[in-house]
A and B are shown apart, each in its own frame.
Chain A
Amino acid sequence: MQSPDIDDQSEALAEWVCHEILPHERDLRRWIERSRLPVDADDIIQEAYARIAALGSVGHIENGRAYLFATARSISLQYLRRSQVVRMESLSDLSTIQIEDSQPTQEAVFWSKHEVRRLLTALPERCRRIFLLCRLEGYTHKEAAESLNVSEDVVQKQLARAMKALTTGFGCETDV
């Protein structure tokens, strides 16, 4: 079974990320794209999650959204400094860009839930069923395999497929 020490920490952090960070991912992406900085939004977002994952605890962070935006800004700055050709105006742009954190959090939370439902519903029927059986109903992979008359390997692959749809698709419709 999974080693409990890693997982306990991951679970608590994942719960925090689920409520405090994921809902703001779309706004962060929009903010980066709108800033017209010569940085890639995907890179910045990925790096931001890397920094969050490296945090020992999140108890000191009061506002996840503000923290996410500040982290993204600091990463962007680092990228710009590192890049071969630095346009001075980019750096000054970055320091003057206001972090938009005025948007009510509730709306972002509803958006995030709506977004995962959108992705789940877009899955092929069998894939969605397997995800729902295993994740919501608590079937073991073996039970899910038996009830759908497929192999455990199929259950495993379909679950990975569902998760892939979530990890690669979440927050991608930025211009809604």
Chain B
Amino acid sequence: MSKAGMHAENAIDVIAAQWTARRARGLTASESAELEAWRAADPRHRGSYLRALALERLAVQSLAPSAEEQAKAQRFAGQQDQSLSERAGSYETQAAAALVRFGRRSVIGGAIAASVAAGLGLGSYIYLSAQRYATEVGEIRSIVLDDGSNAVVNTGSAITVSLGEDRRLVELEKGEAWFDVAQDASRPFEVRYGDFRVRATGTAFQVAGTQRGLEVLVTEGSVVVLKGNESTPFARLRAGEKLTVEGKATNLEVLGAGRVEEKLAWRQGMVVLDGMTLAEAAGALNRYNKLQISVVSPELARRRIFGTFRVNDPVSVAKAMAIATDAQMERGDSGIVLHD
């Protein structure tokens, strides 16, 4: 039995587990008698066997949750992210198998799973669980999804990926991510942020969530942006185009290949400060670093800077800013301060 909080393996529980596995195969008459004798030998055997049967059910039911339960479970998992990643590996490794083929004669959860599958229009597949990927400040993460698509998740961002038989769904919770979508016309790839859905089949694009809207940037192919439940597209974008939505204002901009590459330099851990004001440049760098740059003089904050820098090297950027604008640079308690 357990001592000092560590839960030692319980011999009765192990035997109960073996019995449930044998029972799944179908017991012979003599095995049935043996099981009965074991259960009768000790009330704890009976209790442990009951618990094992209940756990088996729970396992099956947890793999075939209702849509509502799934959403709540995801929120629950989100809340527990930190402790889970510290304790048992990150959530996505826990939710490793994203899909389970839902087959012919499902044992216990069949009816539930079938109705979930039908209700969501998922054909013969159900979501086992969605995978969530979250990055820390300064972390840029490249992920190969199970369908062969690539996702690069920028600093301080979070996405949840659910790959189904008839669609591939990514929820952008916050931040920014770039996707290189594997071609599969039968399963549209959709990135959702707030009220918007960015849909593609085989293409590469970036979606960034902002406070008042979103920014979509297409690097290859084309995408369709949908809003709410509307069936007519909100916008269509081709390679080199950028859509910005801020509240009611919508702006479609043609950037050209060079500018698009600059915008995506973060994937290589670089940031291109293309004539940004110092205030904007400080903001762009601060997304990636705990060491924050602040520009305290208003005049200075409006000056512009050009250059390509490493996102994780705020000291060099601040030095460059100071040299370019002839400003003073100081290391304060909270970070780097630039002033006249």
Contacts and interface: CB of A to CB of B under 8 A. Distances in A.
Interface of A: 1-3, 6, 10-11, 13-15, 17-18, 21-22, 33, 40-43, 46-54, 106-107, 110-114, 116-118, 120-122, 128, 131-132, 134-141, 152, 156, 159-160, 162-164, 166-168, 170, 172-174, 176
B60 interface: yes
Contacts of B5: 33, 174
Contacts of A128: 97
Which interface class (under 10, 10 to 19, 20 to 34, 35 or more) fits B?
Answer: 35 or more
Given A110-B76, A159-B21, A164-B13, A49 B93 contact: no
Interface of B: 1-2, 5, 7-10, 12-14, 16-18, 20-27, 32, 36, 42-44, 46-65, 69, 72-73, 76-77, 80, 83-84, 87-88, 93-97, 100-110, 113, 129
B17 A53 contact: no
A136 B113 contact: yes
B43 A167 contact: no
A163 B18 contact: yes
B50 A14 contact: yes
Max chain A C-beta neighbours (<10 A), residue from B1, B47, B51, B96 = B51
Q: Give the interface SS of chain B, mostly helix, strand, loop or mixed.
A: helix
B18 A164 contact: yes
B52 A163 contact: yes
B14 A164 contact: yes
A156 B49 contact: no
Given A46-B47, A120-B59, A136 B100 contact: yes
Q: What 10 A-B pairs are tightest by C-beta distance, nearest first?
A: A49-B47, A50-B47, A138-B105, A163-B17, A137-B103, A113-B62, A14-B53, A17-B54, A160-B21, A159-B21
A18 B61 contact: yes
B18 A22 contact: no
A43 B7 CA distance: 11
Nearest to A139: B103
A170 B51 CA distance: 10
Contacts of B110: 138
